[in-house]
Amino acid sequence: MRNFARIITLQLALIIPLMMYADDQSIINAANKVLQTEPVAVTDKTFSVSGNPHNFESLSIYWWPNPQNPAGPYIAKDGQANPEHKQYDLPRLLKMVDNLQKVGKAYIITKDSRYYDFFCKQLDVWFINEETKMLPNFNYCQFIPGRNNGKGNPQGMIDSYNFNSIIENVNKVNAIQPIGNKRMKSLKKWMKSFANWMENSDNGKVASQYKNNQGIAYDTTLFNIYRFAENNKKCSQLILSCCNRIKQQIDNEGKQPEEIKRTRAYFYSIWNLQHIVEFLTYANDASFKIDNETKRKVCKSIQYLEQFIGHKEKFPYKDISTDWGENERLLSNIRTQAYNLEVCSPIDSQE
């Protein structure tokens, strides 16, 4: 028996480093592909609905041409993405975020200056260089053709959630090799300007009042930007308001009333939980305390959704998602994050 255990141990000692090497090599290969491209700019667009290519412009993805009036205002089809959105800036934003993540990871592994240089150049192109930088607003985010005079909508604030990944990658790379005082100062200035737009623009004010997942996404992004900018006073205020929002969003059964109305009710319930747990992660990283009632509500919602893992047919609300397994994977990750944060324990999920 001892010999068998020794053999298993030796096999694991050989296999685990190989697995880690394979993972690292996959990250490096992905980053090498990024190095063969140019950094993405918001100004790469071939046309601008606002007339200024520095504005971020995205199409509200669940809005489509009206078959009864093709030249008229678009109509809503909740949960059904219009492929026209790929013609606008959201794919560019996602590509920029992906670039930073891939070369950032590769730099952390290898310390190869090529990845660091591309990382910094991508930041410069999107946020700093006068010729290519994005203006710090979402005035034309998720516009709907034929409505609101071509201006954006408060729902578009959800696209700003991508800035959380940018901040995370900047912090990780900067911890190894500072990206430069001037660059960091410029980046923080841009982020603070965007936060100011979030709080004071008409669309930002409306988004701050949302009672669904977009409200949590708003709080999470705003909190993370102010944390990045080292504004603890603003962060303290947001801890209180976001915890109150969380408690209002989850009922005593663990259901999320605003999310179960959707055509993808299970997905959006999980999606909102993901935003909530990420907010709690940022709060924990900044050493802020979360009240017990907020924790209880989060655990209750996890418990409620867990009962439908492997039992899609028992979920009592509409969900047109085609990949239930992906929903379950997301929920499993959220549950793990919640346990790691000591928001709830493994025992909670069995009650």
Rounded to two decimals, the pTM is 0.86
% of the chain surpassing 70 pLDDT: 92
The reply to whether 142 and 243 lie within a common domain is: no
Domain co-membership, 202 together with 251: no
Strands 63-64 and 57-59: unpaired
Model confidence band, residue 53 (pLDDT cutoffs 50, 70, 90): very high
Q: Is 216 exposed, middle or buried (0-12, 13-18, 19+ CB in 10 A)?
A: buried
Residues 329 and 236 in one domain: yes
Q: Which of 164, 185, 209 is the last residue of a domain?
A: 209
Q: Tell me if 1 is assigned to some domain.
A: no
| Enclosing domain of residue 73 | 17-209
The domain boundary, picked from 181, 209, 237, lies at 209
Domain-located, residue 186 = yes
Q: Is 8 part of a structural domain of the chain?
A: no
Looking at every residue in the chain, the average pLDDT score rounds to: 90
Give per-residue pLDDT as tens, 204-237: 999 999 999 999 999 999 999 999 999 999 999 9
The residue with greater pLDDT, 70 or 238, is 238
Question: What's the structural domain count of the chain?
Answer: 2
What is the separation of C-alpha 161 from the centre of its chain, rounded to a whole number of angstroms? 4
- Both 346 and 233 in one domain: the answer is yes
Indicate whether 174 and 222 sit together in one domain: no
Dist CA 188 CA 238 (whole Å): 19
The pLDDT value given to residue 65 = 86
pLDDT digits (tens, 9 = 90+) for 113-141: 999 999 999 999 999 999 999 999 999 99
For residue range 306-330, what is the model confidence (pLDDT) as tens digits? 999 999 999 999 998 888 899 999 9
Any idea what the CATH number is for the domain that residue 118 is in? 1.50.10.100
Residue 12 domain-assigned (yes or no): no
Q: Could you tell me if 259 and 323 lie in one domain?
A: yes
Confidence class of residue 83 from pLDDT cuts 50, 70 and 90?
Answer: confident
Beta bridge partners of 143: 59
On whether both 166 and 260 belong to a single domain, the answer is: no
Is residue 154 within 8 A of residue 215, CB to CB? The reply is no
125 domain-assigned: yes
Amino acid at 157: M
Same domain, 44 and 57: yes
Backbone angles phi, psi at 69, to 5 degrees: -150, 70
Whether 255 and 116 share a structural domain:
no
Last residue of a domain, one of 209, 228, 249: 209
Model confidence band, residue 348 (pLDDT cutoffs 50, 70, 90)? low
